[in-house]
Amino acid sequence: MSRILVERGVAVTSGGSMAADVLIDGERIAALLAPGSGDPVIRGEVRRIDATGKLVVPGGIDVHTHMEMPFGGTYSSDTFATGTQAAAWGGTTTIVDFAIQPRGASPRQGLETWMQRADGKCAIDYGFHMILSDVTDQALKEMEGLVGDGVTSFKLFMAYPGVFYSDDGQILRAMQTAAATGATVMMHAENGIAIDVLVEQALASGLTDPRMHGATRPSVLEGEATHRAIVLAGLADCPLYIVHLSAAEALAEVTTARDAGQPVFAETCPQYLFLDEGLMSGQDLEGAKYVCSPPLRSSHHHDMLWNGLGSDDVSVVATDHCPFCFKDQKERGRGDFTKIPNGLPGVEHRLDLVYQGVIAGRLTLERWVELTATTPARLFGLYPRKGSLLPGSDADLVVYDPAKVRTLGAASHHMAVDYSAYEGMQIEGGVETVISRGEVILDNGTFRGREGHGRFVPRTPFEGLSVPRPGAGRKKDLVLGGTK
Ligand code: URP
Ligand code: ZN
Ligand code: ZN
């Protein structure tokens, strides 16, 4: 078993920051030691990684990715191999992707398909949520078994009628079953029935450009659907996680529910914090690069979301990584915006982009870690195995260099997609070294990962309201000493 000492860095967790050496033994974190105090404890061979001037943080956990996802007659362009390598470059050491129940088939069949796709391919650990696209009695019956097998969260769609859409009755039944089995319901909250009317009217008027994708998905329809999802979850007594929240109206609904003590959690994504709706109006189909659902919004919404990240009304930043190449994939939407596959690339840039919130003084370092690793782990049954630097936890960690400065772009990223949504953006800070279960997979800027290193991680059921609001009786999870 190999041992590693990450020395002289500043260890940052959601609970606090301090100068510490992190000792790794095999696949686990063995101890956090006072700087330089390890030598009497450490006997035998140990690899030393110098983290002077660097931050040492738990590996990132991206609980919203779509590798090789079928959509609109094509597949998202990152495979589990390429997508997890790109994630590793960006300091993410665990993804939770979405297996899909095919319509007319069972969730179990969907899980088997996705398990086969990922098996032996991933560079980092991975788990699955289940997309329920056909809420039948059989599907409801299977939920308990899936929870037992570590698939403890189920995504439902209020959008995409005829594809993934569930009506309110199906949603309520799924939520009741989730409540009875310890599962969490994840909701794509946009009113798809109303959106389809607006889409039909736009096309009938000859309005076919990518910008119409945004115009036909107004923020009020996200707010309305979020409200409805919260009411139904309250009725079913089921924990609710709103995925890819983009709109101030939706955030207001989540805030009201959380203030009333309802277990409702919101996730947003970097694209909703940084990218403006005007990007969908680019010349010559350029706008298609920015088509995702919900759509990009204006800076007013960005500001509200940043405030939500600070106040914990938004609990998680994930990416909704769902890349489609501009050539041949996004281009399918020439002359009809409804044919543009929905989704943006981003799995590689999440830690860096959220870190810009630290630079701007909007977030603390601890909150950065909480949003990108600890809370995702807690909400999705991975904590304390992942998302912390506790002795006994998986040795997934990142050495982050706050002094690095880079420009993002398609020429330098590692995602299998021919454009960057953040082309030309300057980033302060950067990932230097990444360790996944005790293996150095990014070594001071050199990739040393491999397909098949990543393992499927079964997740435990939702554990109640264990995520405190910032500063409210937070558990300290940074303690020096105590090898395990
Ligand atoms: O546009 C998006 N978000 N594509 C991925 C599928 C989804 O709804 O998350
Ligand atoms: Zn969605
Ligand atoms: Zn998604």
At 188-221, the pLDDT tens digits run: 999 999 999 999 999 999 999 999 999 999 999 9
Give the pLDDT confidence score for residue 467 in this predicted structure: 40
Give the pLDDT confidence score for residue 468 in this predicted structure: 43
Mutating to test ligand 1, I would choose from 322, 339, 344 the residue with most ligand atoms within 8 A of its C-beta, which is: 322
pLDDT digits over 231-268, tens only? 999 999 999 999 999 999 999 999 999 999 999 999 99
Give the pLDDT confidence score for residue 481 in this predicted structure: 61
Among the listed residues 424, 433, 338, the one whose alpha carbon sits nearest the alpha carbon of residue 395: 433
Domain at 59-376: CATH code = 3.20.20.140
Alpha carbon nearest to ligand 1 atom 5, residue: 343
Mutating to test ligand 1, I would choose from 62, 64, 65, 66 the residue with most ligand atoms within 8 A of its C-beta, which is: 66
How many helices and strands in the chain, by DSSP H and E?
A: 13, 19
Give the pLDDT confidence score for residue 38 in this predicted structure: 80
What's the whole-model pTM score? 0.96
Give the pLDDT confidence score for residue 462 in this predicted structure: 85
Q: Which residues contact 260 (CB under 8 A, 6 or more apart)?
A: none
Give the pLDDT confidence score for residue 22 in this predicted structure: 98
Mean model confidence pLDDT for the chain: 95
Tokens representing residue 10 in the block: 């500043």
Per the DSSP assignment, residues forming a β-bridge with 439 are 436
Separation of 365 CA from ligand 1 center, angstroms?
A: 29
Separation of 40 CA from ligand 2 center, angstroms?
A: 52
Give the pLDDT confidence score for residue 469 in this predicted structure: 46
- Quick one: which H or E segment has residue 239? none
In sequence order, which ranges of 294-349 are alpha helices (DSSP H)? 299-311
Angle of helix 299-311 relative to helix 248-259, nearest 10 degrees, comes to 20
Give the pLDDT confidence score for residue 1 in this predicted structure: 60
Give the pLDDT confidence score for residue 4 in this predicted structure: 98
Alpha carbon nearest to ligand 1 atom 8, residue: 293
- Which ligand has an atom closest to residue 186 CA? 2
Separation of 322 CA from ligand 3 center, angstroms?
A: 7
How much of the chain, in percent, has pLDDT values that exceed 70? 95
- Whether the CB of 66 sits within 6 Å of ligand 1: yes
- Whether the CB of 292 sits within 6 Å of ligand 1: yes
Interatomic CA distance for residues 139 and 134, integer angstroms: 7
- Whether the CB of 188 sits within 6 Å of ligand 1: yes
Give the pLDDT confidence score for residue 480 in this predicted structure: 65
- Is the four-CA dihedral 483, 55, 367, 371 of positive or negative sign? negative
pLDDT digits over 265-318, tens only? 999 999 999 999 999 999 999 999 999 999 999 999 999 999 999 999 999 999
Give the residues of the chain that fall short of pLDDT 50. 465-476, 482-484
Q: Classify residue 284 by burial, with Cβ atoms within 10 Å: 0-12, 13-18, 19+.
A: exposed
Alpha carbon nearest to ligand 1 atom 4, residue: 343
Contact 54, 401 (CB under 8 A): yes
Tokens representing residue 455 in the block: 């393992």
188 SS3 class: strand
Tokens representing residue 319 in the block: 């990416």
